Amino acid sequence: MTIVANTYQSAQIKGIKEDLSDVIYNITPDDTPFYSACKKTKAKNTLVEWQTDTLRSSGVNAHVEGDETAFAAATPTVRLNNRTQIFKDAVIIADTDEGLSKAGRAKEMAYQTLKIAREQKLDIEKALFANQAADAGNDSTTPRLLAGLGAWVKTNTNFDDTSGADPVTIGTTARTDSSATRDFDEDDFNTVMQSIWTSGGNPDRVYLSPTNMNEALSFTGGGNSRRNIDAAKETVYNSVDVYVTPWGTVEFTPSREVRGSDVYILQSDMWEVGVLRGTKNTELAKTGDATKRQVVTELTLCSKNEASSGLVADTNG
């Protein structure tokens, strides 16, 4: 159609107000299932220590009447430790912000500190899942590092043995990732479940990547999956939330921070987070026309007894 001459159009108007929504939309996920599930305990040192023990192997234990008593050699406990790791983020905002009228938030500093706190929580989750050995660090260039799950789980593992290997010493060395990978397999999963049960563990939670979660949907073990169609709602259900085996019942929990190569089968009450400094938002000293704040957390992972848990490693998830 032809526009009538001299029609005054919106592009010519200089006084139109902005139409900016007063809501900030952010769909970046910040769920941390493993960190959230771990019991939090108070750490009192940058080196957190604990002890583990085991029972001897069972025997028939039969004796002749009146026989002299023999004494078993006492087995000492095993002393383990992990280092605390400092997680720190900071933001600096020019004080001009105090006079500005903004959409979606009143104070920029409040918005930004909340954002970096959420980001730091994801960093903590990633560190807990990491194939990372403990490191004492030094006073100048090397930060302390906590040993993540990859350096702890050793007794009940299934890995690609072409080049994959368990940690040499739990907590102090990382596991060796294989150069080859394979699909997450139900047989491998059940083998680890059986090994955990034989060791005395009672796993209840499986942490895995979204890709490996899709592999788990194809598991055909008895009673583990639900695939049905609700005719009335025309809804298809395809889920494997709970997997029931003779060796225990576990809940599958997909995580965005777990490494794609790792499927951890954990007994939740055997893993704790020792917190030396809980997450704290602190204002830093002013050195100019700007305000500075930092968010700091210091903690470590405590493996109360790694034989309670297991790992299917070197998957291509």
Per-residue pLDDT of the chain (317 residues; tens, 9 = 90+): 677 676 556 666 666 566 545 555 655 667 899 999 999 999 999 999 999 998 888 889 999 999 999 998 899 999 999 999 999 999 998 888 676 666 656 678 888 888 999 999 999 999 999 999 999 999 889 999 999 999 999 999 999 988 999 999 999 999 999 999 999 999 999 999 999 999 999 999 999 999 999 999 888 864 444 444 455 555 544 455 788 888 989 999 999 999 999 999 999 999 999 999 999 999 999 999 998 999 999 999 999 999 999 999 999 98
CB atoms within 10 A of CB 76: 7
Helical residues (DSSP H) of 101-148, grouped into ranges = 108-129
- Phi/psi region, residue 234 (left: phi>0; alpha: psi -120 to 50; beta: rest), is left
> Between β-strands 310-312 and 157-158, what pairing exists: parallel, antiparallel or unpaired?
parallel
Q: What beta strand segments (E) does the chain contain?
A: 39-42, 47-52, 78-83, 85-94, 157-158, 205-208, 226-230, 235-239, 242-245, 248-254, 263-266, 271-284, 290-303, 310-312
Q: Are 216 and 208 in contact (CB under 8 A)?
A: yes
Q: Are 283 and 293 in contact (CB under 8 A)?
A: yes
Cα distance between residue 96 and residue 107, in whole Å? 11
Cα distance between residue 156 and residue 194, in whole Å? 9
Predicted local distance difference test score (pLDDT) of residue 302:
97
Structure tokens at 146: 């906590």
Q: Distances from the Cα of 151 to the Cαs of 82, 132, 172, 177, 301, in angstroms? A: 11, 6, 7, 11, 11
Cα distance between residue 167 and residue 155, in whole Å? 10
The single residue listed with the structure tokens 């796993």 is: 203
Predicted local distance difference test score (pLDDT) of residue 240:
59
- Phi/psi region, residue 223 (left: phi>0; alpha: psi -120 to 50; beta: rest), is left
The type of residue at 299 is L
CB contact burial 150-182 (16+ within 10 A = b; e otherwise): bbbbbbbbbbbeeebbbbeebbebbbbbbeebb
Helical residues (DSSP H) of 64-107, grouped into ranges = none
Predicted local distance difference test score (pLDDT) of residue 17:
60
Cα distance between residue 175 and residue 167, in whole Å? 4
pTM: 0.86
Predicted local distance difference test score (pLDDT) of residue 1:
67
- Residue 60: its H or E element: none
